[in-house]
Structure 1
Amino acid sequence: ETGLTIEQVKDINRRMSIGEAKARRAKKEMVEANLRLVISIAKKYTNRGLQFLDLIQEGNIGLMKAVDKFEYRRGYKFSTYATWWIRQAITRSIADQARTIRIPVHMIETINKLNRISRQMLQEMGREPTPEELAERMLMPEDKIRKVLKIAKEPISMETPIGDDEDSHLGDFIEDTTLELPLDSATSESLRSATHDVLAGLTAREAKVLRMR
């Protein structure tokens, strides 16, 4: 018989547990090292329907996603890469709180395709693609790409009716990228206290500016 012994199985499980613990610790350190980046981006989205701390929380979710997907071997800067994911998480959250407008189904499909290709190009280049680069990849006129980008960045409610069907809403058509990955839930809790520590470490002037926003 060629099966593993009980001791070998135990040893494999032990090594896997150690590996998972190291991954959690490394991820936590990388996230905490970039909390100020989340705060600086979140500041630009105040007065858009969400409290500042909620914006930070949403930005943290994007940051964790960036940590999961970042490929350091490609040699590009993590902060440039993470900025896209943080903005994506924050603007998506704002959309849930925002005004309702009617959007044609074909436009939703185009927005989804643009977001998907934009993510692919971000992964390849380590930065956000320009409208010109997106137009070339998607085989679309650049002015149309700019129009779609503008619509995609507008705050839109997830309850927005789509087409003529009153039972169909925008949220039904948008792919769900908010589900927490396995290590995310383990990181989220400690991240909240780390965020408060960073906020507490702001200078008096920075804190005053934030309170006034």
Structure 2
Amino acid sequence: MASKIKLASLQTTDDVNTTAKKNVKGRTEIANLDLAKNVQVCKYQLVNQLAQYPFTAQWLVGKYELMTKTKDIEVDNVETDGNSEVDNLNEIKSKLFALKQNEAKNNADHHFDALKQKLAFATEQFPFAFDDLVQLVDTFMCAYQALKSSVPVKNDCIVKRLNIVNRHKHCSINHGCCLSPDPVSEQAIASLVTAESKWLDARKQLATANSGLVLFIANQYKGGFMEFEDLVQEGQTGLLKAVDKFDYRLGFQFSTYASYWIRQAISRSLTRSERVVRLPFGQMSAISKVYRAKDDFIMRHGHEPTRQELAEFSELSLEEINNVLAISQNVVPLEPADEDDDEAVAPINFLEQNSYQHAFNKMADSELHDLIQDAISGLSEREAQVICSRFGMNHDDEMTFQEIGAQLNLTRERVRQIQVAALNKIKNSYGEELMSFL
């Protein structure tokens, strides 16, 4: 009876602990939800203010069209959905073109305002990345500074933001013309800076509230070749990406959503660090796919696949298979990992270089050439001509006795006799010196 009471007591304690943990987790998720709402509201307020200026649309089109043309987007750095981004850009471009046409025709102001509002609405729908918003505010600040350079700025928040821009030196274009024809007042710039500050603070609050999650996940990857501090740093990068991409309206828990991005950031960092030469993450995925297909093929058929069989089995082209196998080769550093260790052994200590001729060999070749020229100069004219023709000196190809005889109007046997006599002269005069080169 006593044991039953004790067991029931333990079960009750476990239930209480489980309930307490669920309550704590529930309160944490509610707090995350409130913080995420605040981030999204503050971000929308900043985007709404930026979208009122046609220059924002022009800046977006210029940046993302250039990135698309130059393919300057790494797979692991993409912040937005590709199709959504392209659709938004096309919509912004069409509205921007209509606005510029109206401006060129000097149409009525009310029509221009209507087109401007349509452009602002299209710009608001663009999935702005973190860098987009910060760089846009930087640009507006530089433009304002250029336009108001002769007037002292009294607003403290504007002064602080200008100091940040000047420290980082983000401005490298003629910003004085970028905001025309609509001048930006000090009040509008102050409002823009305030909106950015609120958004950054809200973003920081959500990230700080979940920093413990980064430590928890990073601790699971300890013991590898990356330091724990580096794992945490990569995890923080993933957490910030989750903060920027999270949409509370979809009904997901932020901790679950952030865990995915934190793990992805750490895993990708580990994958990159495994290789001496870093590969884009898209290529790493292709390598993993090919080698998984190779292992599956061996398990099913019991032998190594040919490249053609591997291409058919993995549903990739033969060219893609060749590229993947070429870039997946292990790379070994020639230099020692620890440069301060004098006793460290590195491959470069055992490899013979064949790209450049050794200085000693070059000097020997030069001396041999001079010695042969001296030896030939001691022969008669006919003997020198026979030796040079026979051994291809001063000629492209070596000549036969028959060819030399036809050239000198001599018989084949006579040419041979002249060669023997000439070689004996060289042997007697320079034989020992020439033998030293063998």
Shorter-chain TM-score: which interval? 0.3 to 0.5
Q: TM-score, normalised by structure 1?
A: 0.46
TM-score, L = length of structure 2:
0.24
